[in-house]
A and B are shown apart, each in its own frame.
Chain A
């Protein structure tokens, strides 16, 4: 039995180094085949008739003209006469035809009529909602006594809207049958191993008959774990037509239906002693994630465990498609609500927010020492001590300000299986039913593999993105890197142990006396009794060695629970309300880092995504028609490079973090960005803009109510 651990820092060839992602060249040159790019011989194209109303009953549906059109191979009614449709762009009929144009013509030939029903899409006004319920209500300590005793108290209202995932590659797949019961689906999914069961269940075939392939992924952010109704329709149409079918969502449906981060609004009261010690929290929050309500509730107060606290969350139902997990579900909302209120309290206390948070660092749980280091590091990087000023100071129309926020996330490694093969020529490969969402998963697996065998990255191959490989968890909740690095490490160590068994006799040693060192197998501590890797591999005989490894498993290779601090430097034009980000700094821990470069890259991406929802993103649903007015890439505003400012990332490394093992990183760095930017704007202009995104109308509105104009 090998010992399952990570190599000592001094012996690491790859782990912790900056490695460029291995599929970068394929992606940048267009060689990478995304599911959207898959074209099969004889393939048909599918289009969907969607409902233009937010709430309506289907009163008439006639697809006969579409069915009889030349080139139309399958017409599938998803929702028939009598069905009550609850959100705009919900799927009614799917059509597969020989070309996109014929499919479009067929959709237009469908006759459909609706009876319009009243809709509700403006959940900020929760009192007008036809349906809402208390989702959570809890109390700790004695909030009433703490409220009475608090020396300084503030009340505030804050709101963060629903936003869309806005995946560049929309949801969808290509489905192809072999015979009557063997399905291959090229899906844009975050769950290669999990999807076959979903297809099989709906299609009533054995799960082993479904193969899902996802070599590259064009963005999911939590929205792509389901086969979805359109996936089942695609498979059914392919079966009926006896031809492969490609079905991907149109951009408007991608934005309106396939992505949604629930909104959150809150009335918050928070109090402290004069010295800044937090004593009291009370919040009444509400939000909506569409027709299924708010889907959970923001964890309030966030990060800081105020001793006396009360929280109530109300789930509001709106006529909008059901929310999907969005990068750190509920955390960005909780962070914005909490950090805004705390910054407002710090201003009332006339304390620097940095001092205020350091004062309360003891309320930040078991890793408060890490938060303390991260606060200091982040402050150093942005020059907080030299540059911070009290709220609203500054001359001229351009006001500059600094803000901060901090966050937490779990990131526990998911279940993962890996199979490693060592070939007699020395080649090594790993197979996992995992997927690379663009985060660098494949690169990380290759690094672990190469590290374990003492090889270069060119000497190893990694195969992922196919459900025929050993099952690995879906990529959600920042669980992937912990899972795949651990299963790969264990499989590789198991394979290496078998190699040691084969070469031990030739080195006159027992297998457990061998080690890998500098690309060779040697008797421990004895370089002159060694065999190069190639020569050693040649001794395994004609049959390759195969070994598997899984997570969870023996040895401490991973952990959960991370934190991070972010600071923002902004300029606000108080005559126009335009907010410009000058700089964003992120300091983040995530245990042992495998690839420093792709880890940093994750954080850079998160800062851009955070800047985006801080300044621009919002699903705008029309109160009149119930439609999403900005379900396009023009009015669903995303930043360009000139909008995000200078980005700086610092990853926490060293023994304190290394010994914890690997922890996921996908979600946490996006959590604080909105709150940090909002706090920086409050610092700049002297007044809180209660809403995200921080658009000119909202900034000017806040200024009109009192601020540094």
Chain B
């Protein structure tokens, strides 16, 4: 790891002031579970690391019957999972945290960190950049792409690594962002983007902005679930995941939001999967139809065709899990 300057501000404003507007010059340190390995591998080499753990007001979780959940970005994943409101009203969130199978990461890792962790793409982690170029040519199509994107891919082929984002997006979450020009609120659904140039990052945060709040509307009348397909029970990122949030009217789906994880450079919001469920009674057949709709348009690379099937099944099982009809 290279030498760096360390700052530990106590207010949000000071934290933002300590961040450079130029990407890569500074880095935000929360739980550190991702940043430290990125720095050790010299994938990022910030001149200054800004620790935000001492910043007031960035932690905690609270609930208001009108506005819903407010989650501080510094909330530890274990504390999110343990929250009684999360457990009662937001099962998809709890299930998503359960997928983070490392006690170390759940203990140190934060909600904001999960949302902002960098892609796990092995080309990116080897220093080939988010677009993974080798001698000017894209590496992923000709390389080993077994874990890469099947949707929305190219020129970025990495998959969004967040465990929580699909569930939060399906629940309609927004995030407050603070920068030198003040604060703004964006839908989490619009937070991520697939970079088309190497200078772009995978989300809309400017280099000198931080997430200050994650806001999740009340879940009244909603049923939600997350389903991850994993090849390993111990620490690992899923091969594919789906989160659903269903607005029910009796046994009929009034409105459905379906978001896939680990299949595209962003959490993949499938409007057609939502449409496929709208007005239907949930059954294995309608759940499967949603799965089929979700993967329409998927374009596999040389080694990841199997992920289309995994995504389809993840959607089906998430829908069935949300409505208590799990088959397996």
A697 close to B306 (CB less than 8 A): yes
B122 close to A624 (CB less than 8 A): no
- Nearest CB to that of A633 among chain B residues? B235
B309 close to A575 (CB less than 8 A): yes
B235 close to A398 (CB less than 8 A): no
B231 close to A696 (CB less than 8 A): yes
B143 close to A696 (CB less than 8 A): no
| Chain B residues, Cβ within 8 Å of A105 | 2-3
Write the B53-69 contact mask toward A (1 if CB under 8 angstroms, else 0). Answer: 00000000000000000
Q: List 16 A-B contacts (CB under 8 A).
A: A105-B3, A576-B313, A577-B310, A620-B144, A627-B126, A629-B122, A629-B143, A629-B144, A634-B235, A637-B231, A637-B232, A637-B236, A638-B234, A696-B310, A697-B146, A700-B309
B5 contacts the other chain (CB 8 A) = no
- The minimal Cβ–Cβ distance linking B328 to chain A, given in whole angstroms, is 6
| Chain B residues, Cβ within 8 Å of A700 | 306, 309
For window 189-224 of B, CB contacts with A under 8 Å fall at none
B328 close to A577 (CB less than 8 A): no
Chain A contact residues, CB within 8 Å of chain B: 101, 104-105, 108, 396-398, 573, 575-578, 615-616, 620, 622-625, 627, 629-630, 632, 634-635, 637-643, 695-697, 700-701
Knowing A576-B313, A642-B234 touch, does A625 contact B134 (C-beta < 8 A)?
yes
- The minimal Cβ–Cβ distance linking B312 to chain A, given in whole angstroms, is 9
A398 close to B328 (CB less than 8 A): yes
- The minimal Cβ–Cβ distance linking A694 to chain B, given in whole angstroms, is 9
A396 close to B146 (CB less than 8 A): no
New A-B pairs, 9, CB < 8 Å, besides A396-B328, A642-B234? A101-B3, A398-B328, A575-B313, A576-B313, A578-B231, A637-B232, A643-B232, A696-B310, A697-B304
Closest 9 CB pairs of A and B: A640-B234, A642-B233, A697-B306, A624-B143, A629-B122, A700-B306, A575-B313, A624-B139, A643-B233
A616 to B235, CA, bound (A): 13
B234 close to A643 (CB less than 8 A): yes
| The one of A101, A615, A632, A696 that contacts B306, using a Cβ cutoff of 8 Å | A696
- Residue from A396, A637, A701 having most chain B Cβ neighbours under 10 A: A637
A634 to B144, CA, bound (A): 16
B328 close to A397 (CB less than 8 A): yes
A640 close to B327 (CB less than 8 A): no
A622 to B146, CA, bound (A): 11
B306 close to A577 (CB less than 8 A): yes
A578 to B304, CA, bound (A): 15
A695 to B22, CA, bound (A): 41
B142 contacts the other chain (CB 8 A) = yes
A640 to B328, CA, bound (A): 22
Write the B223-258 contact mask toward A (1 if CB under 8 angstroms, else 0). Answer: 000000111111110010000000000000000000
B309 close to A616 (CB less than 8 A): no
- Nearest CB to that of A575 among chain B residues? B313
| Chain A residues, Cβ within 8 Å of B235 | 634, 640
A624 close to B134 (CB less than 8 A): yes
A623 close to B144 (CB less than 8 A): yes
| Chain A residues, Cβ within 8 Å of B139 | 622, 624-625
Knowing A398-B328, A620-B144, A697-B146 touch, does A629 contact B232 (C-beta < 8 A)?
no
| Chain A residues, Cβ within 8 Å of B236 | 634, 637
- The minimal Cβ–Cβ distance linking A122 to chain B, given in whole angstroms, is 10
B280 contacts the other chain (CB 8 A) = no
| Chain A residues, Cβ within 8 Å of B101 | 640
| Chain A residues, Cβ within 8 Å of B306 | 577, 696-697, 700-701
- The minimal Cβ–Cβ distance linking B325 to chain A, given in whole angstroms, is 14
| Chain B residues, Cβ within 8 Å of A615 | 231
| Chain B residues, Cβ within 8 Å of A576 | 229, 309-310, 313
B271 contacts the other chain (CB 8 A) = no
A563 to B147, CA, bound (A): 39
B85 contacts the other chain (CB 8 A) = no
A640 to B230, CA, bound (A): 13
| Chain A residues, Cβ within 8 Å of B310 | 576-577, 696
B12 contacts the other chain (CB 8 A) = no
A550 to B223, CA, bound (A): 73
- The minimal Cβ–Cβ distance linking B136 to chain A, given in whole angstroms, is 12
B48 contacts the other chain (CB 8 A) = no
B36 contacts the other chain (CB 8 A) = no
- Nearest CB to that of B306 among chain A residues? A697
B134 close to A396 (CB less than 8 A): no
| Chain B residues, Cβ within 8 Å of A625 | 126, 128, 134, 139, 143
| Chain B residues, Cβ within 8 Å of A632 | 125
- The minimal Cβ–Cβ distance linking B121 to chain A, given in whole angstroms, is 10
A635 to B125, CA, bound (A): 11
A616 close to B231 (CB less than 8 A): yes
Write the B103-142 contact mask toward A (1 if CB under 8 angstroms, else 0). Answer: 0000000000000000010110110100000100001001
B239 close to A696 (CB less than 8 A): yes
- Nearest CB to that of A576 among chain B residues? B229
- The minimal Cβ–Cβ distance linking B307 to chain A, given in whole angstroms, is 8
- Nearest CB to that of A580 among chain B residues? B233
A616 close to B134 (CB less than 8 A): no
B1 contacts the other chain (CB 8 A) = yes
| Chain A residues, Cβ within 8 Å of B304 | 697
| Chain A residues, Cβ within 8 Å of B327 | 396-397
B184 contacts the other chain (CB 8 A) = no
- The minimal Cβ–Cβ distance linking B143 to chain A, given in whole angstroms, is 4
A230 to B232, CA, bound (A): 34
- The minimal Cβ–Cβ distance linking A47 to chain B, given in whole angstroms, is 12
- Residue from A573, A622, A638 having most chain B Cβ neighbours under 10 A: A622
B134 close to A578 (CB less than 8 A): no
- The minimal Cβ–Cβ distance linking B185 to chain A, given in whole angstroms, is 34
B232 close to A639 (CB less than 8 A): yes
A622 to B134, CA, bound (A): 12
- The minimal Cβ–Cβ distance linking A74 to chain B, given in whole angstroms, is 22
| Chain B residues, Cβ within 8 Å of A630 | 122
B303 contacts the other chain (CB 8 A) = yes
- The minimal Cβ–Cβ distance linking A215 to chain B, given in whole angstroms, is 28
A640 close to B233 (CB less than 8 A): yes
Knowing A616-B231, A630-B122, A641-B234 touch, does A622 contact B143 (C-beta < 8 A)?
yes
- The minimal Cβ–Cβ distance linking A351 to chain B, given in whole angstroms, is 31
| Chain B residues, Cβ within 8 Å of A701 | 306
- Nearest CB to that of A397 among chain B residues? B328
- Nearest CB to that of A616 among chain B residues? B232
| Chain A residues, Cβ within 8 Å of B234 | 638-643
- The minimal Cβ–Cβ distance linking B113 to chain A, given in whole angstroms, is 16
A622 close to B313 (CB less than 8 A): no
| Chain A residues, Cβ within 8 Å of B123 | 629
Write the B291-328 contact mask toward A (1 if CB under 8 angstroms, else 0). Answer: 00000000000011110011001000000000000011
A577 to B146, CA, bound (A): 14
| The one of B125, B126, B146, B328 that contacts A573, using a Cβ cutoff of 8 Å | B328
A702 to B226, CA, bound (A): 28
- Residue from A615, A634, A697, A700 having most chain B Cβ neighbours under 10 A: A697
| Chain A residues, Cβ within 8 Å of B146 | 697
| The one of B122, B134, B303 that contacts A635, using a Cβ cutoff of 8 Å | B122
| Chain B residues, Cβ within 8 Å of A397 | 327-328
- Residue from A104, A623, A624, A627 having most chain B Cβ neighbours under 10 A: A624
A697 to B309, CA, bound (A): 10
| Chain A residues, Cβ within 8 Å of B122 | 629-630, 635
For window 24-66 of B, CB contacts with A under 8 Å fall at none
- Nearest CB to that of B120 among chain A residues? A634
A686 to B309, CA, bound (A): 19
B126 close to A629 (CB less than 8 A): yes
A622 to B148, CA, bound (A): 14
A696 close to B229 (CB less than 8 A): yes
A436 to B35, CA, bound (A): 37
